[in-house]
Amino acid sequence: MSKITFKKPGNFIYPVPAVMVSLKDKSGRTNILTVAWTGTICSDPPMAYISVRKSRGSYPMLRESGEFVINLPDEKLVKALDYCGVRSIATVDKWKEMGLHEEESAIVSAPSIKEAPVSIECKVTQVLPLGSHDMFLAEVVAVRVNEQFIDEKGAFHMDRVGLVAYSHGDYMSLGEKLGSFGYSVRKKPLLEKKKPVKKSTFAKVKDTQKPAGKSSSANKKTSGKNHSNKKTGTP
């Protein structure tokens, strides 16, 4: 198989996650922004990043608060995922338009999205200006998951969540499982069993879960402009 070389190199690392980042500024105004330039950057301390253009309405909110929540969407949330990536807080209240609800987070003041199965709370440690995007490096300070995916032994089943991926402009469901970490060198195939997790792992999360219900706040104008490349889906 021969390869051709693009004249201009670009981002071709796909699939990537596309996530719904929820945030709140100091005045209490909240928003959701879709982000595909995101990922894990360190295991210990647990750290993640999001890269955001200065033109986004969310950008000053992020700079001001230094906090955000990465909400992983499931297949049911794909329409909202797209909507929050093509409409700005400058013109709409995305919570209201998509019927999404704010849920109090465990540690950060930014709200989580109640409808999202997984919410990862982050505190910004560094902002790196890179060019088109600024990279917000952040420490993961809390992770909350929908308890329907935790079995009676306390094991969390990410494979049951119905996560989605983003690949070169398209939202994709995940296909069949092809293997598990380390299976290529495993002597005997392991039985499909999840490691039980100590009960105490989730105790704190449950204790800190508070009832949802706040409605979203005012929809003031910001200077946000969108510069996504609609053809290739480059954020």
Which chain residues interact with ligand FMN by CB under 6 A? 18, 31, 33-37, 51-53, 56-58, 82, 85-90, 133, 166, 224, 226, 228, 235
Residues in CB range of 31: below 8 A, 6 or more apart: 22, 23, 24, 57, 58, 61, 89, 94
Least gap, CB of 201 to ligand FMN (angstroms): 30
Least gap, CB of 84 to ligand FMN (angstroms): 6
CB closer to ligand FMN out of 147 and 170:
170
Contact 127, 66 (CB under 8 A): no
**How far apart (Å, rounded) are the C-alpha atoms in residues 180 and 28?**
43
CB closer to ligand FMN out of 109 and 226:
226
Nearest residue to ligand FMN on Cβ basis: 85
CB closer to ligand FMN out of 101 and 160:
101
**How far apart (Å, rounded) are the C-alpha atoms in residues 218 and 229?**
29
Query: Tokens 């070389």 appear where?
Result: 5
Least gap, CB of 100 to ligand FMN (angstroms): 13
Other residues' Cβ atoms within 10 Å of the Cβ of residue 163: 16
- Give me the residues paired with residue 166 across strands: 16, 171
CB closer to ligand FMN out of 52 and 108:
52
CB closer to ligand FMN out of 132 and 215:
132
**How far apart (Å, rounded) are the C-alpha atoms in residues 63 and 138?**
12
- How many C-alpha atoms does 218 have within 13 Å on its Cβ side? 6
Least gap, CB of 124 to ligand FMN (angstroms): 15
Least gap, CB of 117 to ligand FMN (angstroms): 18
